[in-house]
């Protein structure tokens, strides 16, 4: 517990949560890393009835896209927490046409923290969409509790991921 209470360790977690950059503290003991991935598959909506595609129908092809954003925190090389976010949406003509789902999953080996999540997804101006996950964390410490909350956000457009972040709220 003394190690986790170290101000330098806390600062590293704070920095990585805000920037998503990998940071090393005390000879590599604390590290946070992230991975962003997208997969696109054409839908049947934009395909023409014939064997060839016209210029009109090629421009209107829609794609089902799945974007995932995973953040891991490790201490002494051991995985402590893994927060996963999966956003499904439909694109066409270079913009997001509609959102399908936003899901959250957490793998948490930190016995002092209990996690819960609430999820939302919505359209933004300019043909973009956003998937937000609010992680509610409760730390039990010397008989009292401390609430720590974070928001994990993924903003996408037609071509792919515009931004991603994990920040304290």
Query: How far is it, in rounded angstroms, from Cα 142 to Cα 164?
Result: 35
Q: Is the pLDDT of residue 110 over 90?
A: no
* Helix residue spans in 20-99 (DSSP H): 55-59
Confidence class of residue 52 from pLDDT cuts 50, 70 and 90? low
At 103, list the tokens: 């899901």
Query: How far is it, in rounded angstroms, from Cα 85 to Cα 52?
Result: 38
Q: Do 113 and 82 meet the contact criterion of CB atoms below 8 Å apart?
A: no
Short-list 75, 71, 85, CA closest to 16: 71
Contacts of 118 (CB under 8 A, 6+ apart): 133, 134, 136
The neighbouring-strand residues paired with 165 are 153
What is the three-class DSSP state of 86?
strand
At 38, list the tokens: 């997208």
Q: Do 132 and 121 meet the contact criterion of CB atoms below 8 Å apart?
A: yes
What is the three-class DSSP state of 63?
strand
pLDDT, tens digit, 9 for 90 and up, residues 54-109: 554 555 799 999 999 999 888 877 888 899 999 999 999 999 999 999 999 999 98
Confidence class of residue 121 from pLDDT cuts 50, 70 and 90? very high
Locus of tokens 């998503």: 20
Handedness of CA 156, 160, 162, 167 (dihedral sign): positive
Tell me what pLDDT residue 168 has.
Answer: 85
Q: Is the pLDDT of residue 1 over 80?
A: no
Higher-pLDDT residue of 139 and 50 is 139
Q: Is the pLDDT of residue 9 over 70?
A: no
| Domain ranges for the chain | 2-168
pLDDT, tens digit, 9 for 90 and up, residues 132-169: 999 988 776 655 567 778 999 999 998 899 999 998 88
Q: Do 87 and 64 meet the contact criterion of CB atoms below 8 Å apart?
A: no
Query: How far is it, in rounded angstroms, from Cα 31 to Cα 29?
Result: 7
């Amino acid at each position: 517990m003394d190690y986790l209470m170290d101000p330098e360790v806390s600062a590293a977690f704070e920095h990585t949560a805000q920037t998503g950059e990998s940071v090393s503290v005390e000879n590599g003991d604390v590290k946070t890393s992230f991975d962003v991935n997208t997969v696109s598959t054409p839908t049947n909506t934009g395909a023409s009835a014939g064997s060839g595609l016209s210029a009109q129908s090629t421009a209107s092809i829609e794609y089902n896209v799945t974007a995932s954003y995973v953040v891991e925190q490790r201490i002494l090389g051991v995985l402590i927490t893994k927060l996963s976010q999966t956003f499904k949406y439909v694109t066409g003509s270079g913009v997001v046409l509609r959102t399908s789902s936003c899901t959250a999953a957490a793998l948490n080996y930190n016995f002092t923290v209990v996690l819960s999540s609430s999820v939302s997804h919505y359209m933004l101006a300019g043909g973009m969409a956003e998937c937000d996950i609010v992680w509610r964390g409760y730390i039990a410490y010397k008989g009292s509790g401390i609430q720590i909350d974070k928001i994990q956000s993924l903003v996408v457009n037609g071509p792919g991921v515009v931004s991603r972040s994990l920040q304290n709220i």
